[in-house]
Amino acid sequence: MVIGGGVERGPVPIRRWAIRWGGVVTLLVLAFAATVVGLNATLYSAEGFVRSYLTALARHDVDGALQMPGVTPAGSASRELLTADALGELTEIEHVTSTPGADGTVTLEFSFELDGTAGRTSFTVEPASARLWFFDAWSFEASPTGILEVVPQNDSEFDANGVTLEATNGAAAASAYHVLTPGVFALGHDSELLTADAERLIVLDAGSTAQATVRARANEEFIDLVQGELDALLDDCATQSVLQPTGCPFGERIANRVEGAPEWTIASYPVVTILPGDTPGTWRVPETPGTAHLVVGVQSLFDGTRSTLDEDVPFTIGYLMTFPGDGRVVIDAVIGG
């Protein structure tokens, strides 16, 4: 509309505003698209998905790892090793290769170090429902978990990376545990009276099963404890002024008449060794030689002559022992002759 020869200007500011804001919206759309493309190529890529899982293991975030799509431990194995304390050290994580599959899957190989030992393994992931319609999502085609089978010999307890476990199937039988892969486990035994050399076991691949045997043996404290009990028993036996001390592994029979009280001393104590018993949870001290010494006056029944019997008396002694479960050692039998 023209008034007084003027120029019609009403629509021009609106057009400029529309052009200006249309450009802003276009830039925003382009920026968002670039962000989507960038994130799908990095964080939300197949590589980024697997790296997130491995990073969770590296920082001992077991809950975070278990919540990732496709991490589904299946079966009746124990979940006691799916804890932060039971994880080993995973470092130096590096992506090596990616191989696309015809069905949309991607197989990725990663290298890393497990407690300082170099290793590598592969993961196959498959597309999952997109996040917010734009961002790629992935799931493990096979759960990145494995099975650790442990046979604890001589005792039902064992240690895994410092975590003490009671074997689900007891001693001398295989007990199965779910583990996250890749993982490294130091298996051994370290208790008040028993020890076992640590066996280092690496579980690399999803679905794999690793086996180990933990052989507990008596430690120095156990041996010293039993040695002390044995020495005390023999010392008590030596206080009995009879030829056949009651409940003791040594004694003497004399055909002649005894004059005075027999005097016993221990000339040499048996040196204790402790071996596993025939059944799990039992322990034995194999029959071990020692020597007592006897001094006693005697009179011959043949001609009445008197003399002093002064001689060593050899003997053997052994123990059968059990742990009742309350921290004590119980001697079930003393074997000697």
Q: What is the pLDDT of residues 309-322, one digit of tens each?
A: 999 999 999 988 88
Place of tokens 């015809």: 102
Q: Where in the chain is the domain with CATH 2.60.40.1120?
A: 146-217
For the segment 80-98, the average pLDDT, to the nearest whole number, is 96
Residue 3 pLDDT:
47
Residue 331 pLDDT:
76
What order do you get walking across the sheet with 157-160 strand by strand? 163-166, 157-160, 183-190, 194-203, 217-218
Answer yes or no: is pLDDT of 41 > 90: no
% pLDDT > 90, the chain: 71
* Residue 42 pLDDT level (bands cut at 50, 70, 90): very low
User: Among positive and negative, which fits the CA dihedral 83, 86, 90, 96?
Assistant: negative
Closest CA to 125 of 135, 137, 114: 137
Q: Examine residue 182 and say whether the peptide bond preceding it is cis (omega within 30 degrees of 0).
A: yes
The pLDDT tens digits of the residues spanning 59-68 come to: 999 999 999 9
Closest CA to 222 of 183, 275, 270, 261: 275
Answer yes or no: is pLDDT of 37 > 50: no
Residue 329 pLDDT:
75
Please give the model's pTM, rounded to 2 decimal places. Answer: 0.79
What does the mean pLDDT of the chain come to? 87
Residue 36 pLDDT:
38
Residue 300 pLDDT:
87
| Architecture of the domain defined by 146-217 | Sandwich (2.60)
Round to whole Å and give the CA distance between 45 and 95: 12
The pLDDT tens digits of the residues spanning 237-272 come to: 999 999 999 989 999 999 899 999 999 999 999 999
Answer yes or no: is pLDDT of 35 > 50: no
Q: Judge whether 127 and 165 are in contact, CB under 8 Å.
A: no
* Both tokens assigned to 8: 């019609």
The pLDDT tens digits of the residues spanning 174-215 come to: 999 999 999 999 999 999 899 999 899 999 999 999 999 999
Residue 96 pLDDT:
97
Using DSSP bridges, classify how beta strands 117-131 and 209-215 pair: parallel, antiparallel or unpaired: unpaired
For the segment 98-106, the average pLDDT, to the nearest whole number, is 94
Round to whole Å and give the CA distance between 40 and 43: 6
Round to whole Å and give the CA distance between 203 and 194: 27
Give ∠ CA 276-152-208 in degrees, rounded to 5: 150
Q: Judge whether 184 and 88 are in contact, CB under 8 Å.
A: yes
